């Protein structure tokens, strides 16, 4: 019996030792996996690094590319498109103007009543209309007839006392957010459709001419006074309220910038110099590229798999369309190489663009002690349950790395514009104000992104120059801005009403 008891004790001890060894081994493996996960985050953070010196190099590169794009067509990755907008609103504009905003599967018609310096925008009304899917791939005539009919219905609700006198046309600002070769303030040929539209007979045609034909067909006497994009509309809206506005930046699903250039500083402009001496330039800055941009393996794979590889690299680093996707790609690598979410890779995590930037923003702004919002988003969006607090903290850290890089790059871009205009330093004690009008959901709703952008711009400018530069939220450039440009380019400017 004694030998049996001893034998049993030995076997038990061995089993306990083996179990303990398994636990230790499991912990060592877990610890190694966790260390691998942390190493992936650390490497990502380093590759995303935007030290102030690098941001200054990027601002210098933006300035150089701006000069090159103004010198000749195709001379730069920045198109630096001449907008033909040479009169921005002064704030004195009065009267009733219309706007049409076509940029996706819906369009808006707006009516804006302007009251000059004293009253500003007195009132505005708008109506949103869905475009039937068959019209998005039908004929040019079909689409523009549909839009003209909607405009005519909207005009019918014009208040009594606002109808134009006999012989006077209503005037419209047309925001058309598709690639266009602008040929004058109120004409431009469509280069190609995007966003699900595919109407072959519009390509190469003047979109203002197409709309005008449809308006004439139904007897609506309305003149398109300005054809613009949403960035130039934002610039116009900002300038109406504040004459110190010199540039506009859109930070939303996509990103772009426009600014006021001195007409004589545009070598590729061969027309007569405008009376104002100014010309608004649509930079198309989303296509900016530089060896100084902090690209990671996730950015490179995202670009390679996109519909436009090699294009819009700046946009892919900092716009709302892509920030959440970059976070997803980093999380996927951690799941695959470090079992970050357990033994299996969560299937939803493999789905491109499943993690949207608003969800990323919610996680980034989570202030609950146990990061409950992060846990809920991981569960609801990616179907990842039972995450630990330390896992959630890493997710927040990834959001911070991606958002901070994007915000700091946007600040460097703005510094590039200020440099081009000689407004990045204070000269001889003269403190002229420079206001940048910003629009877009990313800037408006992603608080940590906005604060980081503003803080970085101050850091880049230094205290003295930072006091002269203001970043302001300017809403609805594509709507009110277009109506304001119709007013500032009205054929009746300076004509006394009888």
DSSP per-residue string spanning 42-67: HHHHHHT---HHHHHHHHHHHHHHHH
Q: How far apart are CA 136 and CA 113, in angstroms?
A: 31
Q: How far apart are CA 234 and CA 481, in angstroms?
A: 6
- Per the CB < 8 A criterion, the answer to whether 258 and 447 are in contact is no
Cα three-residue angle 471-472-474, rounded to 5 degrees: 140
User: Would you call 108 a catalytic residue per the annotation?
Assistant: yes
- Per the CB < 8 A criterion, the answer to whether 414 and 461 are in contact is no
Point out the catalytic residue in the list 83, 177, 488, 490: 177
Cα 396 vs. chain centroid, distance in angstroms? Answer: 22
Q: How far apart are CA 91 and CA 117, in angstroms?
A: 5
Point out the catalytic residue in the list 63, 86, 108, 423: 108
User: Would you call 230 a catalytic residue per the annotation?
Assistant: yes
Point out the catalytic residue in the list 101, 145, 206, 230: 230
Residue 358's SS3 state is helix
Q: How far apart are CA 433 and CA 436, in angstroms?
A: 10
Question: What are the helix (H) ranges across 169-310?
Answer: 207-217, 230-241, 297-304
Residue 349 burial class via C-beta count within 10 angstroms: exposed 0-12, middle 13-18, buried 19 and up: buried
DSSP per-residue string spanning 21-32: HHHHHHHHHHHH
User: Would you call 149 a catalytic residue per the annotation?
Assistant: no
Residue 369 burial class via C-beta count within 10 angstroms: exposed 0-12, middle 13-18, buried 19 and up: exposed
Q: Which residues pair with 94 in a beta bridge?
A: 115
- Per the CB < 8 A criterion, the answer to whether 485 and 226 are in contact is yes
Q: Reduced to 3 DSSP states, what percent helix, strand and coil does the chain have, rounded to the nearest 5?
A: 50, 20, 35
- Give the contacts of 430 (CB within 8 A, at least 6 positions apart): none
Give the pair of three-digit tokens for residue 84. Answer: 């033909």
Q: How far apart are CA 151 and CA 215, in angstroms?
A: 9
Q: How far apart are CA 277 and CA 279, in angstroms?
A: 7
- Per the CB < 8 A criterion, the answer to whether 233 and 486 are in contact is no
Residue 200's SS3 state is helix
> Could you give the residue numbers annotated as active site?
108, 177, 230
């Amino acid at each position: 019996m004694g030998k049996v008891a001893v034998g049993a004790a030995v076997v038990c001890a061995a089993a306990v030792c083996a179990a303990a060894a398994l636990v230790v081994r499991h912990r060592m493996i877990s610890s190694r996996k966790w260390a691998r996960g942390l190493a992936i985050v650390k490497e990502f953070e380093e590759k995303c690094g935007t030290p102030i010196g690098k941001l200054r190099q990027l601002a210098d590169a933006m300035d150089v590319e701006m000069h090159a794009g103004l010198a000749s067509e195709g001379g730069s990755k920045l198109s630096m498109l001449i907008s033909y907008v040479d009169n921005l609103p002064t704030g004195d504009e009065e009267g009733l103007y219309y706007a049409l905003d076509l940029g996706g599967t819906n369009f808006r018609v707006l009516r804006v009543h302007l009251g000059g310096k004293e009253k500003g925008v007195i009132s505005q009304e708008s109506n949103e209309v869905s475009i039937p899917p068959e019209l998005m791939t039908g004929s040019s005539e079909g689409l523009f007839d549909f839009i003209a009919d909607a405009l005519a219905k909207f005009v019918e609700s014009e208040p009594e006392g606002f109808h134009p006198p006999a012989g006077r046309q209503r005037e419209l600002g047309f925001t058309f957010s598709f690639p266009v070769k602008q040929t004058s303030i109120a004409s431009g040929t469509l280069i190609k459709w995007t966003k699900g539209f595919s109407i072959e007979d519009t390509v190469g045609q003047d979109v203002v001419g197409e709309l005008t034909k449809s308006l004439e067909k139904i007897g609506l006497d309305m003149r398109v006074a300005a054809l613009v994009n949403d960035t130039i509309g934002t610039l116009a809206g900002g300038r109406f309220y504040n004459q110190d506005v010199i540039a506009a930046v859109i930070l939303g699903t996509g990103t772009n910038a426009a600014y006021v250039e001195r007409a004589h500083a545009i070598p590729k402009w061969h027309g007569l110099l405008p009376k104002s001496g100014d010309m608004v330039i649509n930079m198309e800055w989303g296509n900016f590229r530089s060896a100084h941009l902090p690209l990671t393996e996730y950015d490179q794979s995202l670009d390679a798999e996109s519909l436009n590889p090699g294009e819009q690299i700046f946009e892919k680093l900092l716009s709302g369309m892509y920030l959440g996707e970059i976070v997803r790609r980093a999380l996927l690598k951690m799941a695959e190489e470090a079992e970050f979410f357990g033994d299996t890779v969560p299937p939803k995590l493999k789905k491109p663009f499943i993690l949207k930037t608003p969800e990323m923003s919610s996680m980034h702004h989570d202030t609950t002690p146990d990061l409950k919002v992060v846990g809920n988003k991981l569960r609801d969006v990616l179907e990842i349950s039972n995450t630990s607090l330390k896992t959630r903290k890493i997710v927040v850290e990834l959001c911070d790395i991606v958002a901070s890089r994007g915000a700091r790059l946007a600040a460097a871009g703005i510094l590039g514009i200020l440099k081009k205009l000689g407004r990045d330093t204070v000269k001889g004690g003269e403190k002229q104000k420079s206001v940048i009008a910003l629009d877009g959901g990313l800037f408006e709703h992603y608080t940590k992104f906005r604060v980081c952008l503003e803080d970085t711009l101050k850091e880049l400018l230094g205290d003295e120059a930072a006091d002269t530069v203001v970043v302001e939220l300017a809403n609805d450039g594509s709507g009110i801005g277009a109506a304001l440009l119709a007013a500032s380019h009205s054929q009746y400017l300076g004509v006394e009403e009888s």
